[in-house]
Amino acid sequence: MRLLGIETSCDDTAAAVVVDGRNVESNVLASQDEFHARYGGIVPEIASRKHVETINAVIELALRKASRTLDELDGIAVTCGPGLPGSLVVGVAAAQALAFGRGLPAYAVNHLHGHLFANFLRDGERDQAPPQTPFLCLVVSGGHTDLIAVEAADRHRVIGRTLDDAAGEAYDKVARLLGLGFPGGPLIDALARSGDPAAFAFPRGLVRDASYNFSFSGLKTAVRYHLDRHPEDARTRTADLAASFQAAVIDALCDKTLRAAHDLGVATIALAGGVAANSALREQLRARAQRAGLALLVPALEYCTDNAAMIAAAAFYRGARARVQPDQLRVDPNFAW
Ligand code: KG4
Ligand code: ZN
């Protein structure tokens, strides 16, 4: 089954062709980095207009790179939410027009399901088997930090989530405090490599709490208070601050994830979302999973951050649960798990 995936939930315009939810024939992404530099973040109105300008070219390129025509597709999968309403509507309208015009089935995909199912995509280098359920998935993105018990490919339960900021949001806010730029995750990731993670003792939110929930706003505030008292550290000890902040995020993420895996008795942990691209998180979760005798799945880097291949994968595995008539495709900015 060959699906065209379309993703426009935030500010990246993406399209991909994926066969059987695993084999990626193309994965195209147009990003709006030029605006990040100019405005220091995402401006929803600009993001929406950019999607309108690029969506057709991105879809055409995805088909061309896959050497496929619309006639060879079996369906159109699109992100319906959660995300920015003005951005989502562009992808949904494009998907609706294509599905309606071609008489193809449409799939209404939850962006978070997309991140989870990125773990089912075949990663060029490894010919790994699809994950065996049950497993535990830590979804860490710019808007979400959720622990998901995946009982079957089409059945899961949210067992924990952040009570305030998402992990990616904390990276972006702390990067701004340090004057680094946007998005902050990759910048802090790179800078932290030359810093001392033990230089500053920042708080690990909720680690002693019995729930599987997370909290990152206290950590962000601790970094801000530190900079209020020692403003010169933003220039002279940037790498140490980045490394110490990152260590606190990763400790909290790993502690809760390992505890949940132990309590649920699963043998496999999966990582997903933009923050899953973080090199230190990948390394530390791998090391801790190994010590605990657990398998760890991590998507290839290009499938961690927003992309359309994961949307096509989610549509394939969700199947009838995601399939709708083209005229029933609706934007749902608060689409819940
Ligand atoms: O999943 P994603 O691309 O979009 C959302 O659905 O939110 O995640 C974006 C988030 C941003 O907050 C970004 O700073 C973070 O992922 N991110 C990273 C890294 N790459 C992206 N955070 C830490 N380390 C990275 N290498
Ligand atoms: Zn995302």
Q: What is the pLDDT of residues 247-295, one digit of tens each?
A: 999 999 999 999 999 999 999 999 999 999 999 999 999 999 999 999 9
In angstroms, rounded to a whole number, what is the distance separating the alpha carbons of residues 54 and 7? Answer: 12
- Report which bound ligand comes closest to the CA of 167: 1
Atom number, ligand 1, closest to the C-alpha of residue 144: 7
In angstroms, rounded to a whole number, what is the distance separating the alpha carbons of residues 52 and 56? Answer: 8
| Ligand 1 pocket mutation, candidates 171, 182, 337, criterion most atoms within 8 A of CB | 171
User: Contact 333/308 with Cβ under 8 angstroms?
Assistant: no
How far apart are the CA of 253 and the centre of ligand 1, in A?
A: 15
For position 129, what pLDDT does the model report?
Answer: 77
Higher pLDDT, 38 or 63: 63
In angstroms, rounded to a whole number, what is the distance separating the alpha carbons of residues 259 and 161? Answer: 14
In angstroms, rounded to a whole number, what is the distance separating the alpha carbons of residues 168 and 189? Answer: 11
In angstroms, rounded to a whole number, what is the distance separating the alpha carbons of residues 272 and 283? Answer: 14
Residues with CB under 6 A from ligand 1: 10, 141-143, 168, 171-172, 183-186, 189, 273-275, 277-278, 305-306
Mean pLDDT for 105-112 is: 98
- Report which bound ligand comes closest to the CA of 304: 1
pLDDT > 70? residue 63: yes
pLDDT > 90? residue 40: no
The H-assigned helical ranges of the chain are 33-39, 44-66, 85-102, 111-117, 167-177, 184-192, 217-229, 233-236, 238-264, 279-291, 301-304, 309-318
Q: Which of 145, 170, 141, 150 is nearest to 160 (CA)?
A: 145
